[in-house]
Amino acid sequence: MELLLDDIDTFCTKTVLVIGDVMLDRYMYGEVSRISSEAPVPVVNIKNEHVSLGGAANTANNIAALGGTAILIGTAGNDATKDILFAQLEKQNLRTDSIVIDTARKTTEKTRVVGNDQQITRIDVENKDPVSHDIEKKVNLPLAS
């Protein structure tokens, strides 16, 4: 345990490269009081929602929370979700300059709908296809320096 605490104490001197799926997590909370007339699914009346960093962005945020420096490399679309994601990254003092904008893709977003304190569904907006060769070269560019 003491060794682990020593490692945490020296973590503030570390720089960690985080490469991965940069995404936004959205949580929508509400109440269920009826079943839809269109399909046998609950109708959730949303009362509040919040967003947080997901995937590799969450990992980078955790590194920063421990006092380390995170360099985050990944891709995002050129859309409203990217704007929210970048605002969250900047709010946590995380750099966005190594995130490559890919206009052919949407920024990955995972939305969890919670009704009456139980997750009802998760909605994923993501592209699982490989990035183009040009985008791959841009993603690899910071690694070359």
Distance of CA 10 to the CA centre of its chain: 27
Which H/E stretch holds residue 118? Answer: strand 118-125
- CA proximity to 13, closest of 63, 74, 57: 63
pTM of the model: 0.90
Q: What is the chain's pLDDT, residue by residue, as a tens digit (145 residues)?
A: 677 777 777 778 889 999 999 999 999 999 999 999 999 999 999 999 999 999 999 999 999 998 999 999 999 999 999 999 999 999 999 999 999 999 999 999 999 999 999 999 999 999 999 999 999 999 998 777 6
CA–CA gap between residue 26 and residue 49 (Å, rounded): 7
Q: What's the confidence (pLDDT) of residue 142? A: 78
Q: What's the confidence (pLDDT) of residue 145? A: 65
- Listed as own residue / partner, the contacts of 116-123 with beta carbons closer than 8 Å and 24 or more positions apart are 116/31, 116/32, 120/32, 120/42, 120/44
Q: What's the confidence (pLDDT) of residue 134? A: 96
Spans of all domains in the chain: 9-24+52-112+124-144
CA–CA gap between residue 77 and residue 80 (Å, rounded): 9
Q: What's the confidence (pLDDT) of residue 99? A: 98
**9-24+52-112+124-144 CATH:** 3.40.1190.30
